[in-house]
Structure 1
């Protein structure tokens, strides 16, 4: 019997899986995985057209729920003809994916950003940490994760972060008189300062009057990160015409990245000019990169741009959702305050590593917020070898995307899934129930997990303790949902009223 090339490939993939697991009588083929109907030339893009489509590009979490209800825990979609994406909802399948991702996990993401950087070999050696795959990714990741990968290593950033957060809280004190103040831009300035201090050893002074101007460096950096992140998802998912010519979307990304690149070059050049005067026995993170013989100036430009791109919006949006949850749950806020008051004798007390260890409830609040509103819907990987998921044969090279945000809101995995219950994460609490370890993965998993995860968590816990120790917050906004860029963004303003605590 004659088989087409595609059918022959799928047939042999099935045979290989049977050979590896001879006890199985039958494995469903890849082409039989359920999913939205694909049409010639346009794939499933027609289902995302405004007014007539079922799905929206900026509502990936709602899309995921619809697909799960319609097709089950494994969904195949050919959004662009010839490019299949498989969505994973079952934590057992998600575990299978990560158990088989290999030493150099690959993903299909930030493709236009990679093109921009590879088109500029005089500035960059690679596409950077976000889009690069294979041994080149492993080379730069191995160097740049040093000083960020362990709890012990990020403790050295404690005092610097505490000082900046305390400065930010004092600024908020003077801004309380303004009605309907959207906290999201203020959070962006805070996390720009924390990113600059922690990873680049520099202050942008973004709280100042001068830096609040629209044309200031701080304002332009915040805008550049937002615009780039807004372009990434669309350029990843639509037909890649930007690879042939500069589309309007690619031009926007290119313009913002050129600005961010120039800032990175200026910062590194300034650092190098002062390098002789630095304390080599206690190098900053950027110092350690400049001292490393394993990377050069062009590698460091790429990672500085990555820190600026990823360090601002991810923490800003996560904290925005966190404040919404706290502002709408007075009981939770009271519990945080009692913990903060016990740990911090005064509102100006500096947070120590011992205090962070004891902040059990506050850490549970962050974890519960990440369950409901994670940084992204899920995690993408390119399958390195033929693998079985839920009884289906999925061939190597397929793009896999976990749907953790959807799975974390299913009753079968979390009782009362829509209810904000930090106690579910505290082992001594009756509400605690050990969840599957591959359900909640807000910072990714394995070798490609977020490089600054521990630093981001530490900063948000410090902020939460000190903010609630000083203020009672009241939510004054409406119902809040998330909007999909490459990460989840609040779909409305973070409107909060601050009431100063007396002590």
Structure 2
């Protein structure tokens, strides 16, 4: 049965009285055929299926070409998803969402894992939780992250860690930069969130048995399983499947590290031994509206969401720069202007004036965003592309697909940061504000956006200031897990500048 639209007759009446064409019913939306018991999962089976959860952009293009700008699908029986390819429809979704408690359906296995461990967690945390509990957590955690001074507090320590990374790029023999990028993301995340260095680039840590290596591996495993656990038959709800056991094992290790760091910080605060700058963790521990379990959940969320996303975004940016000599040269010139000497630190003023750098990152997010788009559970009936969509439907925007459409961007497959500069042709055409949404939108957008952007800007400025980059690998492909993960080595030759 299709979900019923409670306000369908009201929508029909409104359109009749205004002279508008009445919207079509939900069951008229085109899409792949759903079968009893298995829904459309047969479409995603290896070898015989035409779709792939790991190749969501290619899957999205196939659906768009066959069905049009809105597609209805019942991947899991009884749960409908609509795929949205029109920016006006995307805007309509966010216009009509509950601004205080926007909902989404994601990280379902993580929600179960945490609910089953009430001795450690108070809730599912920010990633899977909806409703008032999510609103409470977001409100309290956002207070510290929304203040630029809290993000800028550790800029000197961040700069030092980035310098260590940049030096390794030129001295360490490697045909794949990805492991170093993961170490950098882990180090920067822990510096700001926990006020702790993991010594990620020390010789003792750069082996497979170290704590940092195991922590990075745990985040990789967890993120790689989320989509499969969310969209499969979900038998893990009834018994521990092999995939769910693997997921739990990785979560156990991340949880162990997070608890140790939170407890260590608590001890320092109680003993008045904490003479460092005020970290995010300290701010949270002194917040009477948060308890220990809330903070452990947040710490785990930051590790799960921060390490991979930052590393992959930097990988894609370096890939595009090393394949576009003119863009790279222009960015190098900006870096030399803002960082006269390689020993000079990046400051807040440096980042404020790095306009071309920001355009480079924006263009990277257009071509290789963190994820395919944004998901929302509709909280009211709305009309999209002439169809009435009932409340409770899962709507997923296809920003990664439409950001490569020629009708929105000139030369869409070309890496052109200039398109984001004020005097560009594309800017003059007033690009639709809902085309590129790398951090989501509204109150449910990425809570660590400021931190992620600061770290990316500082890293790229430093590395392009120090080296000329040349791509030595194959064309960079990626899997959607749901985070877009590069599947081929980040093989770049670093040639130092003589200045």
Paired residues, number: 494
Q: Residues 270, 153 of structure 1: CA spacing in aligned structure 2 closer, same or farther, 3 A cutoff?
A: closer
1:285 matched residue in structure 2: 280
Deviation, structure 1 residue 444: 0.4
> Does residue 124 of structure 1 match 2:121?
yes
Structure 2 counterpart SS, 1:307: helix
Q: Residues 356, 347 of structure 1: CA spacing in aligned structure 2 closer, same or farther, 3 A cutoff?
A: same
Counterpart CA distance in 1 for 2:65 and 2:21 is 28
Q: Residues 278, 449 of structure 1: CA spacing in aligned structure 2 closer, same or farther, 3 A cutoff?
A: farther
Tell me, which stretches of 5 or more residues in structure 2 are unaligned?
Answer: none
**What's the CA shift string for 1:255-310, capped at 9, x where partnerless?**
01011111111111111111132568952111000000000000011000001111
Superposition RMSD on alpha carbons, in Å?
1.5
Deviation, structure 1 residue 172: 2.6
Counterpart CA distance in 1 for 2:440 and 2:292 is 28
Structure 2 counterpart SS, 1:255: helix
Structure 2 counterpart SS, 1:145: helix
2:44 matched residue in structure 1: 48
Equivalences for residues 260-279 of structure 1 within 5 A: 260-275=254-269, 276-277=271-272
Deviation, structure 1 residue 51: 1.5
2:490 matched residue in structure 1: 494
1:254 matched residue in structure 2: 248
Deviation, structure 1 residue 20: 4.4
> Does residue 147 of structure 1 match 2:144?
yes
Counterpart CA distance in 2 for 1:165 and 1:155 is 15
> Does residue 203 of structure 1 match 2:197?
yes
2:87 matched residue in structure 1: 91
Counterpart CA distance in 2 for 1:372 and 1:48 is 25
1:298 matched residue in structure 2: 293
Q: Is the Cα–Cα contact under 8 Å of residues 28 and 392 in structure 1 kept in the other structure?
A: yes
1:484 matched residue in structure 2: 480
Deviation, structure 1 residue 216: 1.2
> Does residue 82 of structure 1 match 2:75?
no
Q: Residues 484, 6 of structure 1: CA spacing in aligned structure 2 closer, same or farther, 3 A cutoff?
A: closer
Counterpart CA distance in 2 for 1:51 and 1:150 is 50
> Does residue 457 of structure 1 match 2:466?
no
Deviation, structure 1 residue 352: 1.2
**Aligned with residue 405 of structure 2, among 381, 388, 410:** 410
**Aligned with residue 163 of structure 1, among 157, 160, 182:** 160
1:444 matched residue in structure 2: 440
Worse-matched range after superposition: 144-153 or 410-419: 144-153
**What's the CA shift string for 1:322-368, capped at 9, x where partnerless?**
10000000000000000000111101211111111111111100100
**What's the CA shift string for 1:75-102, capped at 9, x where partnerless?**
0011111111001110000001111111
Deviation, structure 1 residue 431: 5.1
1:32 matched residue in structure 2: 28
Query: Given the two structures, how large is their TM-score scaled by the length of structure 2?
Result: 0.96
Structure 2 counterpart SS, 1:277: coil
Q: Is the Cα–Cα contact under 8 Å of residues 439 and 445 in structure 2 kept in the other structure?
A: yes
Counterpart CA distance in 1 for 2:183 and 2:304 is 13
Counterpart CA distance in 2 for 1:431 and 1:50 is 40
Counterpart CA distance in 2 for 1:425 and 1:321 is 18
Counterpart CA distance in 2 for 1:300 and 1:352 is 30
**What's the CA shift string for 1:85-141, capped at 9, x where partnerless?**
001110000001111111100000000000000001111000011000001001111
